[in-house]
Amino acid sequence: MSDRIFGGIGLMLAALYAFAATTIPDSFMSDAVGPRAFPYGIAAVMALSSVWFLFKPDPAPDWPRMGRIAEIGAAALVMIAYAQLLPEIGFVIATAFAAAYLTWRLGSSLLQSAIIGVGTSVGIYVIFHLVLGLSLARGPFGF
């Protein structure tokens, strides 16, 4: 039963995602595929995955304990905080903190998590901003 509920919610989210993709305006520099192709693809994969859960549910799903559910909730809150803080503190700082927290919860030590968070943040910044020239959220220090 829980898999079918999950599949139904996923199918509704896929439909909302596809609808939101229709609101993406065409750019003056659009290619043959257009700016909506990638979101439509994600919506299609999500819809197909959700349909699988609707028609092939697990007869006896193994639910995680409350502690694990709380950790999943904390990780979701970190991602929401990341999205909210990204324009305020910038890509490098926000990504470093989010990546450090998530890797710590996945089992790294605090020192390893800090190194991974900073390394991930700076590495992505170098590749996407400095090499590829893409715009990332600037923080109070200009990066």
| Euclidean distance between the first and the last CA atom of the chain, given in angstroms as a whole number | 48
DSSP 56: S
Confirm if 78 and 98 have CB atoms less than 8 A apart. yes
Q: Which value, in Å, is the radius of gyration of the alpha carbons in the chain?
A: 19
Query: Tens digit of pLDDT for each residue in 35-94?
Result: 788 899 999 999 999 999 999 888 887 878 999 999 999 999 999 999 999 999 999 999
- pTM (global) more than 0.85: no
Phi-psi region of 142 (alpha: psi -120 to 50; beta: other; left: phi over 0): left
